[in-house]
Structure 1
Amino acid sequence: MEQRLNYQDFPAGLGDGLIKTDVALKNSGIDFKLLELIKLRASQLNKCAFCIDMHFKEAKHLGEDEVRLYSLSAWEECPFYTDSERAALRFTEVLTNASTNDVSDLLYAQLLSHFSKSEIAVLTVAISQINVWNRINKTIRSVPGNHVVGRH
């Protein structure tokens, strides 16, 4: 696979909002491991190899258990995830597949049982944001395998 574009090819300032949003998400108070699980799961659903590589490595660096990372695509069938993680992962799948799914009242109630409204807002933006990054990286064909932890 050959990369089509580099981020240096983008007009100056075009990605500034995305970067600011990433910084705001990191400062949101939501657990970093949960954010990485969300990013990894959305990237799996979107088949974005570059982002899968990145978020697997970032999660592992944060101390995430490899069994949980390897099992993430089958999270519903595995006992390794907490109820709050399950609600966040279900929400990730619904938002990522928004054309075929809706955020039901039941799902929203599950989210409310684990997260504040403010935290649900953060999760909503985090899931939306990784979907944007997935689409960008798939379009420009970012090559997976070279991600260095801590360098986004």
Structure 2
Amino acid sequence: MKMRVNHYAVNPEVYRAMTQLETRVRESGLDRVTYELIKIRASQINGCAFCLNMHTEELRKMGESEQRIALVSVWKESPCYSDQEKAVLELTEAVTLISEKGVPEELYQRVRNYYSEKEYVDLIFAINLINAWNRIAISTGMFPGCMDT
């Protein structure tokens, strides 16, 4: 396999801007495990092998169990996620698939049971950012190992 284009090299200014946004979201106070679960679920939905590989590895490094990593795609039926995590995963699906039904008020209220208004906005930025990364990776032909030298 071969990448179509190396967006890092072709447009480093835009790449730097994206990484600055990534840093801001990561430093927002959002729980790191929650952030990685968001990244995995969005990457599954979008079919981004590069990002899915990266973020499952990140959770492994953080000490997450293989069960929790493997069952993200079936979180609704999995007792290993808290109600709070399930609300975030549902929000991730809704925002990623926004054209299907938007973000229902009931879901917004359920997420707000666990998160402040600012934290809700942090979640929305986190979800949108991984969706952007997925679209960049897929469009440029990235795949697991493509950046290895």
The TM-score normalised by the length of structure 1 is 0.92
1:62-118 Cα shifts (integer Å, max 9, x gaps) = 111110110111000110100110010000000000111211110011011011111
TM-superposed CA distance for 1:11, in Å, is 2.3
How big is each residue's C-alpha offset from its partner over 1:15-38, in whole Å with a ceiling of 9 and x where there is no partner? 222111110111111110100000
Deviation at 1:147, TM superposition (A): 7.4
Question: Structure 2: which 5+ runs fail to align?
Answer: none
Aligned to 1:109: 109
Identity of counterpart residues, as a percentage?
37
Q: Which residue of 2 aligns with 1:27?
A: 27
- Deviation at 1:9? 3.4
Query: Aligned Cα RMSD in Å?
Result: 1.5
Contact 1:38 1:92 in 2 (8 A): yes
Aligned partners of 2:2 and 2:146 also within 8 Å: no
Paired amino acid for 2:93 = E
Partner of 2:36: 36
5 Å matches for 1:1-152? 1-145=1-145
3-state SS, counterpart of residue 100 of structure 1: helix
SS in 2 for 1:144: coil
8 Å CA contact 2:38, 2:88 repeated in 1: yes
**CA separation in 2, counterparts of 1:108 and 1:138?**
29
Runs of 4+ in 1 over 3 A off after TM superposition: 145-148
Structure with the bigger percentage of helix: 2
Structure 1 residue 12: Cα displacement: 3.5
